A = this chain, B = another copy of it.
């Protein structure tokens, strides 16, 4: 394919941010935003590696033993990554026709949040917690995710969740009501002396229980409290079936639309398999199929 012809995905992005018409900015655009050229793919790999290593540094830096031992190495690595990501951010800004739209987009904000904490922590050394914001760099992986071979699976899951969105919302609102009422009930029954110190804490416990997490930091001590908790657990167990059922029904409807797994029926003309049980013609080349067994 001519590398100057934008792919459908690139076209959509171009429509969003303004793909330049030519010149060095188009070349930079193809490297930074697209992954159809060797340089673009190499850039994606470099950025993914940099993100993963820099996140590993953030994580390792939080461990006191490692932090003290490799203080200088971590600081140097951090500045290298910050400079790299800053350059990338600038490149993304200059090579699009609508830089403000990019800066305001979700990934534009995430890109800025990836570099800002390091500069801010240099200016205000006391606000050390800021540095942990750098973990949001992880979100940048999603951008590259969209360009990989896994995009079909990613979209399928996203679509199934989106199609179930309203059902899950209704379900969660009912669960929230149940949890508020039962949490208050346990607050009245058990009271602050057994750890249920106020309604928010009791609701936290009720969520812990109904989702079957069960930390055990707060537990009912009275017989009546334990009875109510038992009913809640069985209730939570039963209703656990509902979100699963919603998502599964949606995924199953999509999966069944694809047809059954490869069956012994293959097209004699083109060799394609995976025909639906009631298909009479090959969906790949139009030849008549042998009858289903």
Contact = CB atoms under 8 A, between A and B. Distances in A.
A252 B257 contact: no
A203 B234 CA distance: 12
B249 A277 contact: no
Interface in A77-135: 129, 132, 135
A55 B161 CA distance: 31
B236 A59 contact: no
B132 A188 contact: yes
A255 B249 contact: yes
Size category of the A interface is 35 or more
A200 B167 contact: no
A145 to B, nearest CB: 8
Contact of A250 (B154, B184, B255): B255
A60 B132 CA distance: 31
Given A166-B153, A199-B62, A256 B246 contact: no
Nearest to A66: B198
A250 B257 CA distance: 12
A47 interface: no
A246 to B, nearest CB: 6
B285 A283 contact: no
A32 B156 CA distance: 44
B283 A275 contact: yes
